[in-house]
Chain A
Amino acid sequence: MKNEEALFRYAVRMGDNSLVLGHRLSEWCGHGPQLEEDIAQTNIALDLIGQARNYLTYAGEVEGKGRSEDDLAYLRTDREYLNVHLVELHKGDYAYTIARSFLFDAFHLALQQALTTSTDERLKGIAEKAVKEVAYHLRHSSEWLIRFGDGTDESHERAQNALDDLWRYTGELFVPDEAEEVLAKAGVVPHLKDIQAEWSATVDRVLKEATLKRPADGWMASGGKKGVHTEHLGPMLAEMQTLQRTYPGVEW
């Protein structure tokens, strides 16, 4: 794989991770368990979708076929989406949403921090902006996970169940695909095993404070990075893309 193709796939992956999780979090808009959380999740969604715009714009430029951020977001099928499974899973109950966000945020912060020293100026610029936002996201999801874990029997049980269910989707975060390997070798992006060490330390620290058990590593799901997704992504994209699919090129 040539560097340019790897860079396109990498920028699409980063954009898709942020876009899909951002869309999932936006599903809490008007449905949050309390007003402050409704507002928090939609603010976080806004950050993520902003990051997605930066990545997909860049991906379109790298590809050089004239595709815009909107073309990439609204006119690709699920098989062309390159996000990890973790971000596309349904929103579940609030413990599930928080646990998923926590597992992703811990990964996302370590990755964005590493990308602030990328040799690629655009990846560096996007990361410099994103890293400070993601630090707030991780703080938010950590605090809520601790509140649930160290809360009532009911909240503890729900948080533990969510972690147990989600754990099998964390392996994929750290297994590089060809694009990630090519770029890591070229020194453009970090090696995922370095990110994994930092993620693991964050997870241990927060789970300890939350009195939650770290699930044992077992079978890990994968496929998202090459466009093979769970049953959750298709319906989400159908909803997200419906306007552009029904009225191609419509603006408002």
Chain B
Amino acid sequence: MRTAEEIQVLLEQVKDPEIPVISIRELGVLREVKVEGDAVEVVITPTYSGCPAMDAMQEDVEQVLRKAGIANFTVKQVLSPAWSTDWISESGRQKLLDYGIAPPPHTSDIRALKGGVPETACPQCGSTDTELVSHFGSTACKALYKCNACKEPFDLFKCL
């Protein structure tokens, strides 16, 4: 028998298939684990309505649970409350940065909410002399930037 916290830790093995350095727990996609007797319920929430990684993440969760010998489980997808980039943990933000993706501005940053472009530091060289190329990058959750200092392109995890 495992506690909800132990299962949360176990599920840190499940990574975002499109950003394989960050776990679904750090990403905030893993919302809740409920344990009642030997029944386990895992609640996950999509980042975007059309996120194609969601089904893969659900399957990975199921596989990890099965491997751990947990047979009686359900994985539920919920939409509400809607996922926000503010739910990405501090360690998650650092891992994004190390992976070359600028972490999202916080939604409390008024410029991000009002449609302005907040100052974004290049994850490669750290310069803030950067420029938005497109609001839509390699996936729905990222915007494409370029750094005017080191001339490298990079992704920004969009504020949502």
Contact = CB atoms under 8 A, between A and B. Distances in A.
B110 to A, nearest CB: 15
Contacts of B51: 50
Nearest to B50: A50
A46 interface: yes
Interface residues of B, number: 24
B143 to A, nearest CB: 9
Nearest to A42: B136
B144 A129 contact: no
Contact of B138 (A39, A128, A135, A140): A39
Contacts of A44: 136
A40 B160 contact: no
- For chain B, what secondary structure do more than half of its interface residues adopt (helix, strand, loop), or is it mixed? loop
A35 to B, nearest CB: 9
Contacts of A47: 48-50, 140
Contacts of A121: 80
Nearest to B47: A129
Interface in A84-137: 121, 124-126, 128-130, 132-133, 135-136
A54 interface: yes
A43 interface: yes
Contacts of A214: none
A53 B79 CA distance: 12
Interface residues of A, number: 27
Contacts of B48: 46-47, 50, 129, 133
Residue among A128, A130, A132 with the most chain B CB within 10 A?
A132
Nearest to B160: A132
Interface in B90-147: 115, 133-140, 144
B137 A39 contact: yes
Given A50-B51, A53-B49, A136-B135, A125 B160 contact: no
Contact of A39 (B46, B78, B136, B158): B136
Interface in B65-93: 78-83
Given A133-B140, A135-B115, 17 more contacts: A43-B140, A44-B136, A48-B50, A49-B50, A50-B48, A53-B50, A54-B49, A121-B80, A124-B80, A128-B79, A128-B81, A128-B82, A129-B46, A130-B49, A133-B160, A136-B136, A140-B136
